[in-house]
Amino acid sequence: NNDVRSEQEVVDVGADEILVQVRVLIGSLNSIFKRLFDWQLSGPDYKSTKGMSSPSTQFVTSRRMGVYEPLHQIGMWEDPFKGLTSQHGIAATTIVEVDGLDKPDYTSNESVGPSKNDQEASIPNEKVQRRLAQNREAARKSRLRKKAYVQQLETSRLKLTQLEQELQRARQQGLFIGSSALDSSHMGSSASLNSDLAGITAFEMKYGHWVEEQHKQNGELRNALQVHITDIELRILVDHGLKHYHDLFNMKADAAKADVFYLMSGMWRTSAERFFLWIGGFRPSELLNVLMPQLEPLTDQQLLDVCNLRLSSQQAEDALTQGMDKLQQSLAQSVATDSGNYGSQMAAAMEKLEALEGFVNQADHLRQQTLQQMSRILTTRQAARGLLALGEYFHRLRALSSLWAARPCEPA
């Protein structure tokens, strides 16, 4: 059974996963550097843009790369230099006015636009000069920003390489990742961030497999309900399906330890599913509403039991929601008032945040209990139909999300 592993094996696997992630990050940084330096060779001056359409520049797909470079610089480097963005924006607008200039021999003289090419002679020289000056200024600022960005990347790359070395050492010494062996003493340290990253990456992978397996099980249930199989065989499928949800909740518990905010954000789910998000997952009472019509006919006793279940799950949800509201209030209060002691104020706020994991666990526990109670109330055949209905519901939500993402954009 996969659950039974030696401690060392778990550490090794964890360390391996982290090392992989670190190396992938270093690799990405290296390719970013390469692209940046290729870009630099071609230069941001407007004399020649031949190098711009080369495949090495993957930031832009537009053929008008040469003209639009400064724009993309804004996009890339907005964060480190927020103050410059607005100024740059003005210059950018100037550049945006340039239209349809795919010519590789674009020179700054043509910055006034294609429609005005014919009338070049009639344009007052000052306007052209002003535009040129603005473009030069924009280019200068963009070079500065690029320099700062590159410096940032360099530092990150160094840090990552150091981290890689530390991890190798720690792994050899058989130490746990995220222990005192690595520097996890302050908030946001790269060590704990990377172990969280590894945990979340592992979760995303496992969840991807979970969804595939879910799809497979749905197919099996569908077939089984169409042909006439025995209740015993159907029971096996139902238990299999329930266990599959149980596995999901176990996965989520591990992910909550790594990054509870990630779990609560629902980013691991599709957009339509996220719309229904309640404390990191579906609402049990909503689920019952989805299932009920699919399960008829129910006996009177079953109807009563299901109604009671719906009521008790609603009450439990309300209780947890109120607990979460109190947590929000309490956290807001502790962050809002300036106690004058930043350190202890933050420490108190951190303690409050730790309660979040508990709520996510209780919410998943509630989901688990609701599913189990349903399986107790229903006959095997009804439970099979219920699981299938549930699986198809989520499948359709995911499909809806894809359709929504791919919908044609309205013309501007």
Partner 1 sequence: MAWGGYCAMQARRNVEERSTTDPIERVARLASESAVVIFSISTCCMCHAVKRLFCGMGVNPTVHELDQDPRGGKDIERALMRLLGNSSAVPVVFIGGKLIGAMDRVMASHINGTLVPLLKEAGALWL
Task: For CA atoms 219, 225, 227, 231, give the dihedral sign.
Answer: positive
Judged by DSSP in three states, 281 sits in strand
> Site for partner 1 (CB under 8 A): which residue of 98, 251, 264, 309?
309
CB atoms within 10 A of CB 277: 14
Stretch that binds partner 1, among 8-16, 124-132, 223-231, 368-376 (CB under 8 A): 368-376
Site string for partner 1, 255-274 (x = CB under 8 A): --------------------
Beta-carbon-side half-sphere exposure of residue 255 (alpha carbons within 13 Å): 26
User: Residue 315, interface with partner 1 (CB under 8 A)?
Assistant: yes
> Site for partner 1 (CB under 8 A): which residue of 370, 375, 380, 382?
370
Query: C-beta of 336: minimal distance to partner 1 in Å?
Result: 16
Q: Is the CB of residue 288 less than 8 Å from the CB of residue 302?
A: no
User: Residue 318, interface with partner 1 (CB under 8 A)?
Assistant: yes
Q: How many chain residues interact with partner 1 (CB under 8 A)?
A: 28
Q: How far is CA 191 from CA 161, 262, 400, in A?
A: 12, 18, 38
User: Residue 316, interface with partner 1 (CB under 8 A)?
Assistant: yes
State how far the Cα of 194 lies from the Cα of 182, in Å rounded to an integer.
11
Stretch that binds partner 1, among 26-34, 93-101, 150-158, 310-318 (CB under 8 A): 310-318
Site string for partner 1, 68-107 (x = CB under 8 A): ----------------------------------------
User: Residue 320, interface with partner 1 (CB under 8 A)?
Assistant: yes
Query: C-beta of 261: minimal distance to partner 1 in Å?
Result: 17
Judged by DSSP in three states, 278 sits in strand
> Site for partner 1 (CB under 8 A): which residue of 31, 107, 179, 308?
308
End-to-end CA gap in the chain: 56
State how far the Cα of 184 lies from the Cα of 395, in Å rounded to an integer.
40
> Site for partner 1 (CB under 8 A): which residue of 85, 156, 294, 312?
312
Considering only CA atoms, which of 60, 26, 29, 56 is closest in space to residue 40?
Answer: 56
User: Residue 65, interface with partner 1 (CB under 8 A)?
Assistant: no
State how far the Cα of 380 lies from the Cα of 240, in Å rounded to an integer.
12
Query: C-beta of 252: minimal distance to partner 1 in Å?
Result: 15
> Site for partner 1 (CB under 8 A): which residue of 129, 322, 341, 344?
322
Q: Which is nearer to partner 1, 179 or 315 (CB)?
A: 315
Q: Which is nearer to partner 1, 290 or 400 (CB)?
A: 290
Site string for partner 1, 346-365 (x = CB under 8 A): ---------x--xx-xx--x
- Binding to partner 1 (CB under 8 A) within 373-412 occurs at 373, 376
Strands (E) in 261-328, as ranges, are: none
Which amino acid is it at 174?
G
State how far the Cα of 314 lies from the Cα of 302, in Å rounded to an integer.
18
Q: Is the CB of residue 404 less than 8 Å from the CB of residue 272?
A: yes
Stretch that binds partner 1, among 11-19, 167-175, 315-323, 389-397 (CB under 8 A): 315-323
User: Residue 341, interface with partner 1 (CB under 8 A)?
Assistant: no
Q: Which is nearer to partner 1, 236 or 327 (CB)?
A: 327
Q: Is the CB of residue 273 less than 8 Å from the CB of residue 401?
A: yes
User: Residue 326, interface with partner 1 (CB under 8 A)?
Assistant: yes
Q: Assign residue 113 a region: left if phi > 0, alpha if psi is -120 to 50, beta otherwise?
A: left
State how far the Cα of 262 lies from the Cα of 255, in Å rounded to an integer.
8
> Site for partner 1 (CB under 8 A): which residue of 313, 375, 380, 382?
313
Beta-carbon-side half-sphere exposure of residue 61 (alpha carbons within 13 Å): 0
Which DSSP category does 36 fall into?
A: H
- Residue ranges that bind partner 1, judged by CB under 8 A: 305, 308-309, 312-313, 315-316, 318-320, 322-324, 326-327, 330, 355, 358-359, 361-362, 365-366, 369-370, 372-373, 376
